[in-house]
Chains A and B, each alone.
Chain A
Amino acid sequence: MGLFLVVPLVAVFAEALSKGFDAYQSAIVDPDAFAALRLTLLAAAIAVPLNLVFGLAAGWTLGKFQFRGRQLLITLIDLPFAVSPVIAGLVFVLLFGRQGWLGPWAIDHGFEVVFAVPGIILATTFVSFPFVAREVIPIMEAIGTEEEEAARVLGAGGLQLFLRITLPNIKWAVLYGVILANARAMGEFGAVSVVSGHIRGVTNTLPLHVEILYNEYNAQAAFAVASLLACLAIVTLILKAVIETRVQGVATVVEESAVEVMPWESKSAV
């Protein structure tokens, strides 16, 4: 089973270098590839911080408070996972396209969304939306509110409380979520492909550039660019593995402290 996973990874690099290192290099320093790399980085640089702020807010609301409709809200946050990436792209075309609801108005005001950079950023934000929230909500819930309440009683302000108490507790989970969100943001294909219009050098992200090269029967160049994305995947996996051990450390601390507060904690939770 390991082979089933490793062989494709090896094959990416083998195909990329199949015509020697010079061909590999020229495919990567190609201006179109460079523009695609820049757009990919830009989209991730906007989408990931937005989703980070959202994830922290959602983690605070849903992890520290109990209220009616909480479970529904959590389900809604998971929605982008359940929706096909193609549909994610489609909804933005329907909203902002020439025949869309907001499209004609936006275009009149000189603001192109579909087949332009903003559409790509929107689609990227949509697909990487739940990652940080999903990691942060359970850990905030597991850690509970006692430390924050104690800090509050001792006179800490809201921001101080968050920065000094909450953030150190959840930092690994946040980082974990950010890495997953980033991997998805940089690698997204389906959603971005629908809104991009494939304008070379303008609205092409790296995954789309891979597709174009591949469909032009330039497989070696396609794999060369793909190898960059494969490196991103490997870095993601390594960081993930490193952080997992840290998160597990936090989780065991939480479990140990949870045992002590169990008797009355479980009563007040219900």
Chain B
Amino acid sequence: MQVRRRVLPGFGLTMGITVLYLSLIVLIPLATLPARTLTMSWAAFRDTVADPRVVASYRLSLGASLAAAAVNAVFGSVVAWVLARYSFPGRRVVDALIDLPFALPTAVAGIVLTTLYAPTGWLGAPLAKYGITVAFTPLGVTVALIFIGMPFVVRTLQPVIEDLDPEVEEAATSLGASRKEVLLRVVLPNLLPAWLTGFALAFARALGEYGSVVFISGNMPMRTEISPLLIVTKLEQYDYAGATAIAVVMLTLSFGLLLCINGLQAWARRRVAP
């Protein structure tokens, strides 16, 4: 296992601490989930995870998360581009504010978004005139998920755009490429891995999000219940087996996404350092 003799001390000690602590806090607790499911019969498991109310929650969770990640992928790349390429007064303030959804506790984000987008709220009232209700609808869930997913796309794209040399684009333009061609053939191929990573990160975060969504969604069965909420509902009814079954489905999804993200990041590294 040892490739070359280690000069630095402390490998064994720090490795021990790392693995022990990781096991105690993360691995062993998470392992209880699949282990608990094994004690359920297959039929009971299937009945729980394929229950129409649960299926409706997957559909909302996946749909709203995808929509939110897509919106963030578009607007987030615009914001990242502006922040990376242009300097303007207040740039540093805007730059710091991008992380607000990350720093603001989700419960606070939840109640403030609900108040803002309620039919009587600052933003909800003007929208209600056009017949758009945001709070307590799937749209509200999506809005909350857009808010919390914002930083992910911006933060993954920003450093990559900063590393892009504007001279390459200028060279393409001087060789006769149109603005659209430069964007499609020069800029986008370079940004693609980071862009997909940001999208996947925002999607993964949205999928598991709970705090900011429970307030604005209204939690109506079949309509605005997200999967994490159903886990909590089942727990409150002391249906531990049911909660575990849904959690295993979600954990599998998140784990798949994590693998995708790691793959994307490895791809991005290979692209950056050929």
Map CB proximity to B onto A27-52 as digits: 1 under 8 Å, 0 otherwise.
00000000000000000000000100
Q: Are B204 and A2 in contact (CB under 8 A)?
A: no
A240 interface contact, C-beta 8 A: yes
Interface residues of A in 206-263 (CB under 8 A from B): 206-208, 210-211, 214, 219, 222-223, 226, 229-230, 232-234, 236-238, 240-241
With both chains docked as a complex, state the minimum distance between the C-beta of A142 and any C-beta of chain B, in angstroms.
13
Identity of the chain B residue whose Cβ is nearest the Cβ of A69 in the assembled complex: B1
B42 interface contact, C-beta 8 A: no
- Of B28, B102, B105, B231, the residue contacting A87 (CB under 8 A) is B231
**A90 to B33 Cα, complex, angstroms:** 9
Interface residues of B in 162-204 (CB under 8 A from A): 204
> Looking at chain A, what size class is its interface with the partner chain?
35 or more
Map CB proximity to B onto A173-197 as digits: 1 under 8 Å, 0 otherwise.
0000000000100111110011000
B220 interface contact, C-beta 8 A: no
Q: Which applies to chain B's interface (DSSP): helix, strand, loop or mixed? A: helix
Given contacts A60-B10, A87-B247, contact A9 B100 (CB under 8 A): yes
- Of B7, B229, B240, the residue contacting A152 (CB under 8 A) is B7
- Chain B residues contacting A67 (CB-CB under 8 Å) are 1-3
**A95 to B55 Cα, complex, angstroms:** 27
Q: Are A79 and B95 in contact (CB under 8 A)?
A: no
Q: Are A186 and B208 in contact (CB under 8 A)?
A: no
Q: Are B240 and A230 in contact (CB under 8 A)?
A: no
> Looking at chain B, what size class is its interface with the partner chain?
35 or more
With both chains docked as a complex, state the minimum distance between the C-beta of B255 and any C-beta of chain A, in angstroms.
7
- Of B108, B255, B259, the residue contacting A207 (CB under 8 A) is B108
Q: Are A90 and B109 in contact (CB under 8 A)?
A: no
- Chain B residues contacting A79 (CB-CB under 8 Å) are 26, 30, 258
- Chain B residues contacting A56 (CB-CB under 8 Å) are 14
With both chains docked as a complex, state the minimum distance between the C-beta of B143 and any C-beta of chain A, in angstroms.
9
Q: Are B101 and A5 in contact (CB under 8 A)?
A: yes
**A5 to B113 Cα, complex, angstroms:** 10
Q: Are A240 and B99 in contact (CB under 8 A)?
A: yes
Given contacts A84-B210, A86-B208, contact A187 B3 (CB under 8 A): no
**A207 to B104 Cα, complex, angstroms:** 11
With both chains docked as a complex, state the minimum distance between the C-beta of B246 and any C-beta of chain A, in angstroms.
9
Map CB proximity to B onto A70-100 as digits: 1 under 8 Å, 0 otherwise.
0101011111111111111011111101011
List the interface of chain A (C-beta within 8 A of B): 1-2, 4-9, 11-12, 15, 50, 53-54, 56-58, 60-62, 64-68, 71, 73, 75-88, 90-95, 97, 99-101, 122, 125-126, 129, 145, 148-149, 152, 158, 161-162, 183, 186-190, 193-194, 206-208, 210-211, 214, 219, 222-223, 226, 229-230, 232-234, 236-238, 240-241
List the interface of chain B (C-beta within 8 A of A): 1-3, 6-11, 13-15, 17-19, 21-22, 25-30, 32-33, 36, 75, 78-79, 92, 94-113, 115-116, 122-123, 147, 150, 204, 207-211, 215, 228-229, 231-232, 235, 240, 243-244, 247, 250-251, 254-255, 257-259, 262
